[in-house]
A and B are shown apart, each in its own frame.
Chain A
């Protein structure tokens, strides 16, 4: 029964744990900025796995996923900042954020139930933009979101007196804010991975897969496709909401700018590039797409300076160029993603 207790797996788990614990201290040698980048990679893993439920499992192409992230982030920002003078504790805000995002998910889901593929993508894209524009303009007549200026001085995650920002001394070690967030994020990411895995091999997970494969047949075997689809939207949205809350707390600042269409596209690209519906693939996609721009920023910029003495191509525009190229290449040579699930690979290569 307890397969994971055999010596090899135990060794593997020990090594992975050791690597995960050591990682923030190793990258910190290159500066705290790198710890923040690692943190964002994990946050994106979280987001991508949330979107994977909607896109990968249920096959509903959602281009407005960032809206739920925004809902979560603004929930935290409004309930834990001087903006309204509210400072609710983490155990209250995160569930509220997840709940509101979940409601937003159902709101988006219910009118789009009959849409599929491209049509659904367009509607969800519009929804994402609507949420962003709301955030941008809800500063008058009553100032709710502070408009384009965003909300500042947001409280960090804190459990009692233990704050996740600033340095803490533990056993003579100094642990920085980003390093503390790292551990929080890893814990959350492990949680979301476990939830994803368990959902995938469950009655509901199979129902999602069935809807993705053939909606009419799914109905005919008695799956209430309306409810099951809404469930996918709601679950995915809740994950987005939690990720948004952590994002707001970690940054201490939110503005509508962080929730643009390109962010939705990025998260979708992580899911597709990595391998839709395959959890390790999605994690790989999230890590790659988070690090790539940073590598370009720290690598290509200085490289150009060294070679030509000036910046010829702005790393930011190069990023889009490389993304585009990478996507085209992956779709051409590995259409199921970089690390697809075995089934999906068979499906696309047509082999038995």
Chain B
């Protein structure tokens, strides 16, 4: 398997707080890669640097062989990095379908002129956007909520919708920030099936998660962050037994 993403000594400070200290890790194509660590370990900061919302203070990312530009979220999406948010960020007052249609933005071209003149090209593209969005809603199994406002969806469905919206950008790397947070056992099980399905369909997955059972069962490899530093990066079986990881979680 080829390397999809390489993080090289990524550092990020907030004032005196070192949120990330020279984190280097490698994600291979086609794997489910877990990123775990106690609260405040820097997992989400890592996500934000990766997706261009933060500018790292040091180091950088290489995505399928070329460097990622810092501070260019829309370009990260264009390169094929999609994400969900820890505290769900949907377009609350747009319908579920529209949310996913927005996700198609980066893979479509129609401009103002095309929209005003309703050229054949624009109409065809619009139809394709709608069709693809409907298919994605079906894929995450919320097709019957297509015309409901995102706001009015249940918590679990909102999580699914966010994943569908991210998938609409045709990512090569899908970053999920605590997708199982607040879910019950059945919902978590369904989520697990969904994530495995997405991987099977060819998308590499980077997963931040607190549910250790889920991470260990699902991920091919796991990295552990503690106080902004990488503790270990290995297969779950090794990570689970690592003394430093146990200390990080239980406190030493």
Contact = CB atoms under 8 A, between A and B. Distances in A.
Contacts of A199: 112, 115-116
Interface stretch (A256-264, A327-335, A342-350): A342-350
Interface string A198-222: 1101111111011001101111111
B74 A224 contact: yes
Interface stretch (B37-45, B122-130, B192-200): B122-130
Contacts of A203: 104-105, 108, 110-111, 115, 125-126, 129
Contacts of A209: 91, 94, 98, 102
A206 B112 contact: no
A222 to B, nearest CB: 3
Q: Which of A195, A207, A218, A219 has the most CB of B within 10 A?
A: A219
A343 B93 CA distance: 7
B53 A223 contact: no
B176 interface: no
B169 interface: yes
A243 interface: no
Given A202-B122, A202-B126, A204-B110, A222 B115 contact: no
Contacts, number: 114
Nearest to A348: B93
Interface in B20-55: 51-53
B94 A213 contact: yes
B232 interface: no
Given A220-B77, A347-B151, A214 B105 contact: no
A175 B92 CA distance: 51
B111 to A, nearest CB: 7
Contact of A213 (B83, B91, B111): B91
B95 to A, nearest CB: 8
Contacts of A347: 92-93, 149, 151
A204 B89 contact: no
B78 to A, nearest CB: 6
A276 B148 CA distance: 20
A53 to B, nearest CB: 10
A151 interface: no
A216 to B, nearest CB: 6
A198 B117 CA distance: 8
Contact of A220 (B83, B108, B116): B83
Contacts of B228: none
A235 interface: yes
B91 A210 contact: yes
Q: Which of B52, B74, B165, B168 has the most CB of A within 10 A?
A: B74
Contacts of A225: 74
Given A202-B126, A221-B82, A210 B152 contact: no
Contacts of A224: 74
A218 B112 contact: no
Interface string B125-149: 1100100000000000000000011
Contacts of A346: 93, 149, 152
B39 to A, nearest CB: 21
B105 A221 contact: yes
5 closest A-B pairs by beta carbon, nearest first, are: A222-B106, A222-B77, A202-B115, A213-B91, A219-B73
Given A202-B114, A217-B89, 14 more contacts: A199-B115, A203-B125, A206-B94, A206-B98, A206-B105, A210-B102, A217-B85, A217-B90, A218-B102, A219-B53, A220-B82, A221-B82, A221-B103, A221-B169
9 contacts: A199-B115, A203-B125, A204-B111, A217-B89, A219-B74, A222-B106, A223-B102, A223-B106, A225-B74
